[in-house]
A and B are shown apart, each in its own frame.
Chain A
């Protein structure tokens, strides 16, 4: 028993070290609600405002976090139909010359193809192309029952100026990962 406890503390220490080395400022797995979104974004906003980061970068990080988190709270599926909770994982870290915002959530198989198509289209466009797509989409879209406008991923790509990296993992953890 004692050995097991020690092992777990070792694990916690390893995780702490990994977080420090990779400058991971936030890791979360659980339900994502509007309250959680507000809490995480304001935490990140506060820590960034103490850093030397420019206002423009601070705003972009805030912006992308809101869209990623609201994507989970609006679109995440669950493994069972009874489970209505919208859960996901969220991780924010600082790289050498950029911030990484990674979120993951379960999505039903039947929605994968559509999502992948959107991601590929977005990743194929440059800044001007994204702006055109955004303008076209904002005119055509209506606010869905979930409260989304279908603009989140386009906006993330526009604001970051980089491609959306994603992975789709099969079976029990059908998670698209976006960063």
Chain B
């Protein structure tokens, strides 16, 4: 599969989707004006990946900030991984949050209430 490697800007996140190296990551900030436009290729990539996923996928979310429109798209991404879990493969969401940011931890907990995928919460400081 092709590798998606998008550099973040002040309103869009870094995205790495690389099946060969097993790297799956969205990080930085996500508040684009048009979320559909930004995330379309990412959702398409995940759809294709879901047809032949790795036995174990570790997906890292290390977001510093995301707007509510992005929060909807993040749920869409998670729902696609939930299907992979339903098809018998292992998926783990690594949800990173800054130690000062309770809100980001809570956002992860809300997602894990909605989707049936195990979440690991990883606190970072810097």
A59-B65, A67-B68 as given contacts; A34 in contact with B102, CB under 8 Å: no
Q: Within the complex, what minimum Cβ distance (angstroms) separates A110 from chain B? A: 24
Segment with Cβ contacts to A, from B20-28, B33-41, B49-57, B85-93: B33-41
Please give, as numbers and ranges, the residues of chain A lying within 8 Å of B69 by CB-CB distance. Answer: 70, 143, 147-149, 151
Interface residues of A in 21-37 (CB under 8 A from B): 34, 37
Binary interface encoding of chain B residues 41-81 relative to chain A, with 1 for a CB under 8 A from any of its CBs, else 0: 00000000000000000000000010111011101000000
B31 contacts chain A at the CB level, 8 A cutoff: yes
Q: Within the complex, what minimum Cβ distance (angstroms) separates B5 from chain A? A: 23
Q: Within the complex, what minimum Cβ distance (angstroms) separates A53 from chain B? A: 11
Please give, as numbers and ranges, the residues of chain B lying within 8 Å of A70 by CB-CB distance. Answer: 31, 33, 67, 69
Main secondary structure of the interface of A (DSSP, over half): helix
Please give, as numbers and ranges, the residues of chain A lying within 8 Å of B11 by CB-CB distance. Answer: 34, 38
Is the pair A135, B72 in contact by a Cβ cutoff of 8 Å? no
* Distance, CA A148 to CA B31, complexed state (A): 11
* Distance, CA A150 to CA B71, complexed state (A): 11
Query: Of all chain B residues, which has the CB nearest A142?
Result: B72
Partner of B110, one of A131, A141, A143: A131
Q: Within the complex, what minimum Cβ distance (angstroms) separates A143 from chain B? A: 6
Is the pair A34, B33 in contact by a Cβ cutoff of 8 Å? yes
Q: Within the complex, what minimum Cβ distance (angstroms) separates B109 from chain A? A: 9
The bracket for how many chain A residues form the interface is 20 to 34
Partner of B31, one of A66, A149, A151: A66
A134 contacts chain B at the CB level, 8 A cutoff: yes
- Known contacts A73-B33, A138-B72; can you find 20 more A-B pairs with CB under 8 A? A38-B11, A54-B100, A55-B100, A56-B103, A59-B101, A59-B103, A63-B103, A67-B67, A70-B31, A139-B114, A142-B72, A143-B69, A148-B69, A149-B71, A151-B68, A154-B68, A155-B68, A155-B71, A158-B103, A159-B103
The interface of chain B, by Cβ under 8 A from chain A, is 10-11, 31-36, 65, 67-69, 71-73, 75, 98, 100-103, 106, 110, 113-114
List 13 A-B pairs, Cβ < 8 Å: A56-B102, A59-B100, A59-B101, A59-B103, A66-B67, A138-B72, A138-B75, A139-B75, A147-B35, A147-B36, A152-B68, A155-B68, A159-B103
